[in-house]
């Protein structure tokens, strides 16, 4: 006899932990939003404000590291100032070499430290990020570390849910899982077709929203974008499948399939509730991202209810994410820019 209540409780705990983790991640990347905005110029020459994500990723793309050119420039300026104030005058007057080479000492600036702050300093405040030196800036993490963090966290959540399925005896059919070649073939074909269509619709909705001045932050996707063929293989062949399996297992199979089978609740009502939770879990994409993701989540939920197949929505979810990365980060194509032009 399936233990529906126990499974529902475990599912609820996983959902709460996921939403809390998402909120903490969002806070970690946006807690410097009170700092003066990074000003830049768009293609037409008009100024606009960069988000913390855009500022970090633009510095990474230009220098290969987050704190590159801007901090090196500041370091060089401080080095010149230090030289001017610490160099002792000689009898014949300061030489060009004296003016250009800073005096070394315990407070010597380190170019690898943000803002060129003294290497021994522990209480300097980094105005560019709004953080103390001992605070970890998420945007400074390497792409590999970010991908590993996503894969491990979501993979562990997926294992917890699968363990709950085995422990509580929830039947596979309630989760939309079958073991047959027909199920496999239908899932791959329908999932691929649905994924491509939903990807196009998702991009059009986000592009139109951006066209009308609404925010749609994709900074996290930019930070996760690989910089090598090996990285792309890890992303497309490992990380994105884990994300698709876990999120569909939680938001569609568990929150809709299992709960509707175990408690005789309308799957359409559960589809609405799970889509709201799905949207909240993607809060880092901004207001438009939350709305678009919520609508996308409901469409995936509807596909799950109609087909009764977890595999269909897993494959569709994978293609949506994969196409976003390949089109935006691989080929550098922006739908919003294309529509506006």
pLDDT tens digits along 42-55: 444 443 344 444 44
Residue 192: per-residue pLDDT: 98
**Half-sphere exposure (Cβ direction) of 40: Cα atoms closer than 13 Å:** 12
pLDDT in tens, 112-158: 444 444 444 444 445 544 555 555 555 566 778 888 888 999 999 99
Nearest CA-CA partner of 282 in 304, 306, 258, 300: 300
Q: Which is more confidently placed, 162 or 115?
A: 162
Let me know how many helices (H) and strands (E) the chain has, helices first: 14, 2
Q: Which residue has the higher pLDDT, 154 or 221?
A: 154
Residue 101 confidence (pLDDT) above 80 = no
Q: Provide the mean pLDDT of the chain.
A: 76
- Residue 264 tokens read as 């005789």
d(CA 164, CA 3): 10
Of residues 89 and 216, more confidently modeled: 216
Find the mean pLDDT for residues 244-263: 97
* Total residue count of the chain as it appears in this document: 341
DSSP 273-332: HHHHHHHHTTGGGHHHHHHHHHHHHHHHHHHHHHH--HHHHHHHHHHHHHHHIIIIIIS-
Q: Select from 212, 339, 218, 224 the least CA-distant residue to 290.
A: 218
Q: Decide: pTM greater than 0.75.
A: no
């Amino acid at each position: 006899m399936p233990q529906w209540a126990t499974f529902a409780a475990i599912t609820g705990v996983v959902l709460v932990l996921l939403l809390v983790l998402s909120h903490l991640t969002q806070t970690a990347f946006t807690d410097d939003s009170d700092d003066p905005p990074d000003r830049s110029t768009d293609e037409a020459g008009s100024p606009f404000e960069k988000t913390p994500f855009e500022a970090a990723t633009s510095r990474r793309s230009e220098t290969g590291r987050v704190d590159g050119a801007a901090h090196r420039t500041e370091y060089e300026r401080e080095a010149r100032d230090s030289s001017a104030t610490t160099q002792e005058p000689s009898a014949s007057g300061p030489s060009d070499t004296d003016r250009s080479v800073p005096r070394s000492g315990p407070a010597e600036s380190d170019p690898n430290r943000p803002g060129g702050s003294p290497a021994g300093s522990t209480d300097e405040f980094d105005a560019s990020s709004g953080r103390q030196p001992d605070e970890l800036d998420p945007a400074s993490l390497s792409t590999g570390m970010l991908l590993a963090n996503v894969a491990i966290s979501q993979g562990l959540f997926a294992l917890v849910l699968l363990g709950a399925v085995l422990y509580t005896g929830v039947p596979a059919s309630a989760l939309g899982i079958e073991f047959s070649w027909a199920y496999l073939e239908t899932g791959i074909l329908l999932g691929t077709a649905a994924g491509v269509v939903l990807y196009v619709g998702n991009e059009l909705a986000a592009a139109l929203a951006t066209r009308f001045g609404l925010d749609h932050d994709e900074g996290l996707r930019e930070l996760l974008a690989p910089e090598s063929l090996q990285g792309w293989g890890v992303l497309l062949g490992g990380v994105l499948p884990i994300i698709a399996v876990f999120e569909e297992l939680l938001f569609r199979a568990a929150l809709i399939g299992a709960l509707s089978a175990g408690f005789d609740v309308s799957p359409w009502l559960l589809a609405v509730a799970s889509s709201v939770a799905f949207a909240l879990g993607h809060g880092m994409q901004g207001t438009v991202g939350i709305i678009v993701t919520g609508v996308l989540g409901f469409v995936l939920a509807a596909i799950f209810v109609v087909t009764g197949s977890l595999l269909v929505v897993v494959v569709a979810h994978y293609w949506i994410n994969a196409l976003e990365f390949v089109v935006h980060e691989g080929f550098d194509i922006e739908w919003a820019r294309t529509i506006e032009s």
